[in-house]
Chains A and B, each alone.
Chain A
Amino acid sequence: MILKVALRNFAGQGMRAFLNVSVTALIIIATIFSLSLLNGFQAQALKNLSTTDVGGGHYRVPGFDIMSPTDWEDLTQEVPRQLSQFKHNEKAEVLVQQGQLFINNRMFPVQLRGVEMGQQLLDLPMDHLLRRQQPVADSVPIIIGTQMSRKSKLKVGDQVVMKWRDKHGAVDALDAEVVDVVPLVNPRVDEGVAWLRLDHLRQITLRSKEITWVVVEGNRGKVEGLEFIDTDYLMRDLLALLANDRRNTRLIIGILLMLAAISVFNTQYLNIFKRQKEIGTLMAMGMTPNQIIRLFTVEGGLAAVGAVLMAVVLGIPFFAWFQISGFDVSHLSGTGIPVRENIFLEFNVREIATAVSIIVGLMILVAWWPVRRISNLEPTQALRGRGIT
């Protein structure tokens, strides 16, 4: 009964109800949008980090630290059989060595990163290297990322002297030919990195079968001589950054939500002023204050329900449209964030349910809050419109 009356009253509010509903609906859409966009962003960033570098974790030579290049030469070893027998889509062998490029007679220290060519675990645009199957002769084919290209001013086809040391410490140098400049979505494998075929790097450094780490799908248990480094550790900087973003988003949503709450609160507050006579009449007709509170709360809450419905009606086409092209974040390519391609929304049902419940809950709360005073309203006073001042 209450629901029916509430519905009728609610519909009777016309424009005012519509405004409240639209505001709340828009906020629900905005909330879902920003949370899902962040999810999409996070998924993309983590995916990119994972597909270009981290995979499902690394089996590394103990003590290896990417930030201590002087130790790289000492921290390699032959790939254990346990790992080398994995299929191409289960592991990628990587060898990292120090090198120097001499660009216009200027020294440019680089990380020489040799990656197994057959591997299918990492998604790296190494097609041009893949074709260079023959062993290194006069020049070493390398691929660099776009950022590295910008910084070093190297372009496709350029030949520069590359210097390195072999396993025994002997100096070696050859021309390196830039066979491709590729967009590497992950700046960590772009800046200061020259990509080589693993067989080439092994050949020129005399490090047959050696690796610095092996990227794997996931922890495969103990491997003799190597330690497993999990993805959380390898991605810790990015995870911290994302946590920060999430927090900022929540704060913005919070501010939005407060705005909607004010709207509903204001409506309800004035409602009970304006409709004192109605309240008095209802009381006189035998409704208990609690029932009336419920009536008004339901009425207010209907705005939330209406908002959810409206959010569904408006939101679904909007989200569908958005998913066609996604959000362009190419601007991030030069920063430390491993995302370049368009971002798509990623909906997390639980998260959305939680967010919507919080919004609806809050709307009901602010619908109820101003109406509480009805409980100590004198019906006679109310009938005369003087119950609440």
Chain B
Amino acid sequence: MLNRFARFLVFFILLAQSVACAEEVDAQKLLEEIDANLWADTKHIQGRLIIDNGRRVRELKQETWMEGVTKSYSRYLSPARERGTKMLKVKNKLWLYTPQTDRKILISGHLLRQSMMGSDLSYEDMMEDVKVSRAYLATFEGYVEYEGQQTAILTLKARKPNSTYQTRKIWADPVRYVVLKEIRFAKSGKPLKQVKYLDYVPIDDRLFPRQMVFRDLLKTDTKTTYAFDLIEFGVDIPSRYFSQSILKR
């Protein structure tokens, strides 16, 4: 009798545990997996920045090389008049270069808050140089169905007070370790920006979105789409790409 009860208890505990496992997601771990999916030692991307300001749509073609999260170098391929424009980011400094001026201009401090190329992204948004899992502490909020798919909602709280967005919320696929949607909040909790990650494709052993769509939630009618045409991981990048000497004709 006691034996039966003990067996039942053990079974019940096990059951409860397993149910909990299925329900509970290790939020921080999931976030790390997501980062691991997105970030590599080096990356080479060819893509298009499609900026829709509500009145007209512009498309900029660019090519970017990234090393870790702190170094990135982009150059614009089209349209003709942006061709040759270069952007170099090393840690928290950003230089702009255009062949017409043959000058590199340092954008730093509060100027980084301005819109990049007229998009919904600020230079600052683009320059995020810490992995999200390092900068934020994640907590699991529950599951919701998002676009026909079971997603885990994680709330991310910034670890440091100087992170631009102190709170973020992500809709993550806990199985594939990818983010489907993200909202960035003001400290007060007011939603400010939304990013949608669309069209995940396997590249090497990762899943990477082919498109990211940014919206500024305080404005209407504007959106910026970042479409990736070519993504390569683990490429060799010449070191001069991340030196200021690249900023010339």
Q: Do chains A and B touch in the complex (CB under 8 A)?
A: yes
A73 CA to B188 CA, complexed, in Å: 20
Q: Mark A91-111, 1 if CB is under 8 A from B, else 0.
A: 000000000001001010000
A174 CA to B111 CA, complexed, in Å: 23
Contact of B187 among A73, A102, A172 (CB under 8 A): A172
A163 CA to B191 CA, complexed, in Å: 11
The number of inter-chain residue pairs (CB within 8 angstroms) is: 54
Does any Cβ of A come within 8 Å of B164's Cβ? yes
Collect the chain B residues with CB atoms within 8 Å of residue A174's CB: 186, 188, 190
**Contact assessment for B218 and A170 in the assembled complex, using a CB-CB cutoff below 8 Å:** no
A206 CA to B110 CA, complexed, in Å: 18
Which of B93-101, B139-147, B155-163, B195-203 lies on the face that meets chain A? Answer: B155-163
What is the number of residues of chain A that contact chain B, defined by CB distance less than 8 Å? Answer: 19
Q: Mark A259-289, 1 if CB is under 8 A from B, else 0.
A: 0000000000000000000000000000000
**Contact assessment for B111 and A161 in the assembled complex, using a CB-CB cutoff below 8 Å:** no
Collect the chain B residues with CB atoms within 8 Å of residue A73's CB: 110
Does any Cβ of A come within 8 Å of B133's Cβ? no
Closest A residue, CB atoms, query B184 = A171
Collect the chain A residues with CB atoms within 8 Å of residue B132's CB: none
Closest B residue, CB atoms, query A104 = B220
Interface residues on B, range: 20 to 34
Interface centre among B164, B186, B220, by most chain A C-beta atoms within 10 angstroms, is B186
**Contact assessment for B161 and A70 in the assembled complex, using a CB-CB cutoff below 8 Å:** no
Does any Cβ of B come within 8 Å of A12's Cβ? no
Does any Cβ of B come within 8 Å of A305's Cβ? no
Does any Cβ of A come within 8 Å of B165's Cβ? yes
Collect the chain A residues with CB atoms within 8 Å of residue B109's CB: 70, 74
**Contact assessment for A170 and B162 in the assembled complex, using a CB-CB cutoff below 8 Å:** yes
Does any Cβ of A come within 8 Å of B106's Cβ? no
Does any Cβ of A come within 8 Å of B192's Cβ? yes
What are 8 of the A-B contact pairs (CB < 8 Å)?
A: A102-B219, A163-B186, A165-B113, A170-B162, A171-B186, A172-B187, A173-B186, A173-B218
Which B residues form the contact surface with A (CB < 8 A)? 109-111, 113, 158, 160-166, 186-188, 190, 192, 218-221
Given contacts A171-B164, A172-B187, 15 further A-B contacts (CB under 8 A): A70-B111, A105-B220, A161-B190, A163-B218, A166-B187, A168-B161, A168-B162, A169-B164, A171-B165, A171-B186, A172-B166, A172-B188, A173-B188, A174-B190, A206-B161
Which A residues form the contact surface with B (CB < 8 A)? 70-71, 73-74, 102, 105, 107, 161, 163, 165-166, 168-174, 206
The 8 closest A-B CB pairs, nearest first, are A173-B186, A172-B187, A168-B161, A168-B162, A173-B190, A172-B186, A102-B218, A174-B188
